[in-house]
């Protein structure tokens, strides 16, 4: 699974799954553009890529802002010469029922997770043009089944799953493949933030999250491997798929 000569734009690339994906793609031969609201974090990831001999740029991007998404895509093409792969990884979570979710919180979760995927994809697809390309959206297992006290998150990730399928239908003739990954609980700062939101001790929360057939939570690097598969020619006949990577959490 190689990406030699390819250029990838990764949102949410400063930390967690996005960071792991940027580093893995660079090691697989891609030039990477790392976009995140955390510019310093994005710059640190880009510096790590360069230190390993890769090519990377970093930029601040709020995926809820159309102008930011346009600039991110344009700068990627200007600085790196083209755009072959988009990974929509930026995401947030609010652990609450609808009764405990404010309108502002609902809007924020939907804006980052669903609207951000829409906005960046809308800018990226025309740049991919006749050469084709790949879009990998990061959804969630809770985009396929419901989860407790996560109403806005589940709704937003369900939207990402269906948007993935719709884009796969619309843009297949342009040789653009669109797939999504549905991770289970993954060892990131966001997972630990869930414990805080729920008012639970972190260790007991993580222990409960590990209750799945493989007996542990995932790592960002494992989710990045799935993204690499979907971005590479190894999946050349795969589009419109929601790939579950969750240690068996949804198996039973």
What is the gyration radius of the CA atoms in the chain, in angstroms? Answer: 17
Q: What is the pTM of this model?
A: 0.97
Q: Among this protein's residues, is 229 annotated catalytic?
A: no
Enter the DSSP assignment of 3: -
Enter the DSSP assignment of 115: I
CATH topology assigned to domain 7-245: Rossmann fold (3.40.50)
Cα 64 → chain centroid? 14
- Non-local (6+) Cβ contacts of 194 within 8 A are 93, 95, 205
For each of the chain's 252 residues, which pLDDT tens digit applies? 899 999 999 999 999 999 999 999 999 999 999 999 999 999 999 999 999 999 999 999 999 999 999 999 999 999 999 999 999 999 999 999 999 999 999 999 999 999 999 999 999 999 997 789 999 999 999 999 999 999 999 999 999 999 999 999 999 999 999 999 999 999 999 999 999 999 999 999 999 999 999 999 999 999 999 999 999 999 999 999 999 999 999 998
Catalytic residue chosen out of the listed positions 25, 118, 153, 205? 153
């Amino acid at each position: 699974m190689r990406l030699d000569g390819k250029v990838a734009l990764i949102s949410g690339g400063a930390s967690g799954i996005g960071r792991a994906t940027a580093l893995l793609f660079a090691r697989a031969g891609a030039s990477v553009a790392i976009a995140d609201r955390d510019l310093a974090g994005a710059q640190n990831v880009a510096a790590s890529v360069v230190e390993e001999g890769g090519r990377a740029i970093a930029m601040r991007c709020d995926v809820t802002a159309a102008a930011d998404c346009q600039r991110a895509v344009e700068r990627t093409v200007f600085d790196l010469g083209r755009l072959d792969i988009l990974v929509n990884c930026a995401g947030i979570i609010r652990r609450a029922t609808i009764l405990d979710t404010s309108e502002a919180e609902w809007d924020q979760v939907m804006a980052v997770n669903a609207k951000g995927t829409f906005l960046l994809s809308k800018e990226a697809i025309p740049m991919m043009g006749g050469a084709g390309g790949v879009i990998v959206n990061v959804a969630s297992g809770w985009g396929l089944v419901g989860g407790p006290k996560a109403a806005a998150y589940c709704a937003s990730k369900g939207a990402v799953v269906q948007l993935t399928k719709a884009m796969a239908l619309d843009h297949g003739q342009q040789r653009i493949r669109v797939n999504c990954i549905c991770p289970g609980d993954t060892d990131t700062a966001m997972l630990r933030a869930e414990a805080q939101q729920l008012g639970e001790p972190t260790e007991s929360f993580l222990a409960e999250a590990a209750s799945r057939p493989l007996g542990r939570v995932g790592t960002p690097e494992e989710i990045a491997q799935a993204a690499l598969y979907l971005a590479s020619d190894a999946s050349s006949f795969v589009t419109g798929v929601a790939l579950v990577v969750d240690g068996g959490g949804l198996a039973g």
